A and B are shown apart, each in its own frame.
Chain A
Amino acid sequence: GESVGLHLPTLSVQEGDNSIINCAYSNSASDYFIWYKQESGKGPQFIIDIRSNMDKRQGQRVTVLLNKTVKHLSLQIAATQPGDSAVYFCAGAIPGDSSYKLIFGSGTRLLVRP
């Protein structure tokens, strides 16, 4: 079945540096992929998504790259700020008859050093 995993459980970066969070998926069932940010005591918050027929998508300070050849995607955060400290999840959206089911990775904790 579909599984989505992350390479590192924790990523520590210096404030102002760029962060790269990686994610791998096992098959090509997902129509698109989504990145979520979860702060302590809160539910996941949508950051950005990318359709499976795209290679790159940019948002505000974030860029998601999708490499279908190696089944890998990444989230790049430019000029990382203390407020970016959180757990980041990637999710694959598996299409059903009329809706999607999200399959989440285990998450990467991003720590921003001042």
Chain B
Amino acid sequence: KAGVTQTPRYLIKTRGQQVTLSCSPISGHRSVSWYQQTPGQGLQFLFEYFSETQRNKGNFPGRFSGRQFSNSRSEMNVSTLELGDSALYLCASSLVGGRSTGEAFFGQGTRLTVV
């Protein structure tokens, strides 16, 4: 079956702009989590969505937001981009994301560069 698909793969934006990233989870998976990966901070949890509701949130400013659609596809948005937002943004999907399993399947990520 198809894996987690993230689009676009690469993106270059200017400071102050906003950006929307997309994630299509594995078919049947209802939980989608987003992570930011940078050389300095490593992998950091942004938020998790399940059945169109945000159930978990990391310690990122309000400029970072997300949503999930009825087909479980998810988008994350970053407004008023800063140079420090340059990172690899990873999406992970799991069956339920609940206490029954922690096995999350990651996409290849979207490489965002802010100039």
Q: Which of A44, A95, A100, A105 contacts B90 (CB 8 A)?
A: A44
Given contacts A44-B43, A99-B56, A107-B42, contact A93 B106 (CB under 8 A): no
Q: CA of A7 to CA of B106 in the docked complex: distance in angstroms? A: 25
Task: Determine how close the nearest CB of chain B comes to the CB of A96; give it in whole angstroms.
Answer: 5
Q: CA of A89 to CA of B109 in the docked complex: distance in angstroms? A: 16
Given contacts A43-B90, A44-B43, A44-B90, contact A99 B98 (CB under 8 A): yes
A32 at the interface (CB under 8 A from B): yes
B55-A102 in contact (CB<8A): no
How large, as a class, is the contact surface on chain A? 20 to 34
B105 at the interface (CB under 8 A from A): yes
Q: Which of A97, A98, A103, A105 contacts B45 (CB 8 A)?
A: A103
Contacts of A44 in B (CB 8 A): 43, 90, 92, 106
How large, as a class, is the contact surface on chain B? 20 to 34
B66 at the interface (CB under 8 A from A): no
B45-A101 in contact (CB<8A): yes
Residue of B nearest to A95 (CB): B99
B48 at the interface (CB under 8 A from A): yes
The 8 A CB mask of A1-44 against B (1 = contact, 0 = none) is 00000000000000000000000000000011010100001111
B27 at the interface (CB under 8 A from A): no
Q: CA of A104 to CA of B48 in the docked complex: distance in angstroms? A: 15
For window 22-80 of A, CB contacts with B under 8 Å fall at 31-32, 34, 36, 41-46, 49
15 more contacts with CB within 8 A, not counting A36-B106, A43-B106, are A31-B99, A41-B108, A44-B92, A44-B106, A46-B103, A49-B103, A91-B43, A99-B48, A99-B99, A100-B99, A101-B45, A101-B48, A102-B43, A102-B45, A105-B42
